[in-house]
Structure 1
Amino acid sequence: MPYHIAPAVIINGTLYTLLAFSVLTWTLIFFKIWQLTKNGYYNRRFDRAFWNASDLGKAKELPANIYRGAQARIARQGFAWLDESRQAVSKPLKYRGVPDELLEQSLRIQMQKEQRAMESGLIMLASIGSTAPFVGLFGTVLGIMHAMHEITRSGSTSLDVVAGPIGDALVATAIGIAVAVPAVLAYNFFLRKVKHVRTGLENFVTAFIHTALTAKGKE
């Protein structure tokens, strides 16, 4: 145990670490709120415009400002696949097979990309939520060990001597818990939102495939 290190250095180092965790947590919280709110707005706007179109051709020609958001990018990927499959002369391997299965695979690959983008930052929130209390506890334990060393060296066990250093050390644990709670709550909230958005994207993929194959059958 490095007793030559001042207790204030250890406790302050712990507190600065927790401060960095807190800043990162709230930065991620505000970013995820902005990201999911914006994406939800774009998805709702595109969904209305897409399904109000008279056919797939009209849906494909929607204005560029409508083609924004995860759902729009999935639709764009679907249209790109349909166009390439029609224009392919020698039918490369990626177009050989059951059309609806190949189209679904292409759309789900894009959906997985959108899901990864929506989940960005969640692992960091989960990590902060699980480690912040232990960082605080680490600072507390080292602080108490230093306090015990100082008490032993001074030879006094009066309340004035004991309470101050130990009380300062316990602050680290309290702050660690205070940092962890918002991180855990935010992680659970955003994870639920991402699952909700994913369900909507899966429904859109299914509906898009059905519509595209129905339109192709009429050609």
Structure 2
Amino acid sequence: MNELYKHIVEWTLWSLAFFSVVTWTLIFLKAIQHSLLGIQNRRFKKDFWSAADLNAAASLEKYVGPTARVAAIGFTTLRSADSTPASNLENSWDRQDLLERHLRQQIHKERRSLESGLAVLASIGSTAPFVGLFGTVFGIILALTAISSKSSANIEVVAGPIGEALVATGVGIAVAVPSVLAYNFFLRRLKLIAADLDDFATDFITLVQKSGFRVHSIPTTKSSTRTNDFSGAKAKSDSGKEVLA
């Protein structure tokens, strides 16, 4: 039975070590995710609000990030409303209602993406101390068993089991603290990003409302250059024909 108690304490410590690895891995990944999203959102907003008009802003297709995806789904919705007849329930909405619906759905998708991993951090933060106490209980039982078997309560008998029990408690707390702090920090960041997306969606609806909820993309410079080259070649060909004539 004593061997079983020892194994339980060891399994508890190994479980807490695994929780710690998961916690710090999630903290590292979420920190990178939020750092990249912050850079992407700032770059897109700078160029979006610097665009000459709404049609110029619609041509900003090289950007990534939550704000860029919300804007892209808005422009895509407006374009599809022009090309798709209102023959089904999907396209039977009013233009403004259809736009608001798709923007809201995209914001919810971004929230779900940012929420990934937070449930794990919250679970580890709330359960790690109890896992440590679970090991502590069996460490104390092991100490009491050693006292009863040797009929002695000196320090040599109880130091080992009690020490393992205290280590399990300390490790449980050490794992829980970073998990709770990281969960609160990233949850706060999530709320700030969601609020920024809501504000951007409101501004986007106000902008497209001025254009009657219609938007057109500006032709790219590359395509226009090709058209000019083709026109020039055609003009040269025509002039050549005239000379030959």
Question: How does the TM-score come out when normalised to structure 1?
Answer: 0.93
Preserved CA contact (<8 Å) 2:78 2:214: no
1:140 partner letter: T
- Quick one: structure 1 residues 98 and 157, their matched pair in 2 at CA, closer, same or farther if it must change by over 3 Å? same
- 1:68 aligns with 64
Q: Is the 8 A contact 2:23 2:179 kept in 1?
A: yes
Q: What amino acid sits opposite 1:82 in the alignment?
A: L
Match of 1:29 in 2: 27
1:130-161 per-position Cα deviation (integer Å, ceiling 9, x unaligned): 00000000011011112211210111122321
Residue 95 of structure 1 aligns to a residue in which SS?
Answer: coil
The answer on 1:214 being equivalent to 2:214 is: no
Measured after TM superposition, the shift of residue 91 of structure 1 is: 4.0
Q: Provide Cα deviations, 1:18-41, integer angstroms capped at 9, x if missing partner.
A: 010000000000100000110111
Q: State the match for 2:43 in structure 1.
A: 45
The answer to whether the 8 A contact 1:85-1:91 is kept is: no
How has the CA–CA distance of structure 1 residues 11 and 62 changed in structure 2, closer, same or farther, with 3 Å as cutoff? Answer: same
Aligned to 2:88: 92
1:145 corresponds to which of 130, 141, 147 = 141
> For 2:177, which of 167, 178, 181 is the aligned residue?
181
**In 2, distance between residues paired with 1:148 and 1:196?**
52
1:48 CA displacement = 0.8
Instruction: Tell me, in whole angstroms, the C-alpha distance in 2 between the residues paired with 1:100 and 1:143.
Output: 65
Contact map agreement 1:11 1:139 (CA 8 A) in 2:
yes
State the Cα distance separating 1:89 from its structure 2 match: 2.5
Q: Tell me which structure has the larger Cα radius of gyration.
A: 2
1:164 maps to 160
Q: Report the residue type matching 1:23 in the other structure.
A: V
Once residues 58 and 41 of structure 1 are traced to their aligned partners in structure 2, the CA distance between those partners, rounded to angstroms, is 22
Structure 1 residue 97: Cα displacement: 3.1
For residues 14 and 5 of structure 1, the distance between their equivalents in structure 2, rounded to whole angstroms, comes to: 14
**TM-score scaled by length of structure 2:** 0.83
Q: What is the Cα deviation at residue 121 of structure 1? A: 0.3
- Per the alignment, residue 79 of structure 2 pairs with 83
Query: How do residues 192-207 of structure 1 correspond to structure 2 at under 5 angstroms?
Result: 192-207=188-203
1:124 Cα deviation (Å)? 0.3
Aligned partner of 1:54 among 52, 55, 65: 52
Match of 2:111 in 1: 115
Q: Look up the SS of the partner of 2:152 in the other structure.
A: coil
Q: Which residue of 1 aligns with 2:229?
A: none
Q: Which residue of 2 aligns with 1:14?
A: 12
Structure 1 residues 7 and 218: CA distance shift in structure 2, 3 A = closer
Secondary structure of the equivalent of 1:93? coil
Corresponding pairs, count: 215
Report if aligned partners of 2:78, 2:95 keep a CA contact under 8 Å in 1.
no
* Distance in 2 between residues matched to 1:122 and 1:63, nearest whole Å: 30
Q: Could you tell me the percent identity over the aligned residues?
A: 49
Aligned partners of 1:110 and 1:31: how far apart in 2?
22
Distance 2:161 2:214 in 1: 81
Determine if contact 2:81/2:95 at 8 Å carries over to the other structure: no
Aligned-residue RMSD, C-alpha: 1.6
Q: Which runs of 5+ in 2 are unaligned?
A: 216-245
In 1, Cα distance between equivalents of 2:60 and 2:95: 25
Task: Give the distance between the partners of 1:171 and 1:218, measured in 2 at CA.
Answer: 65
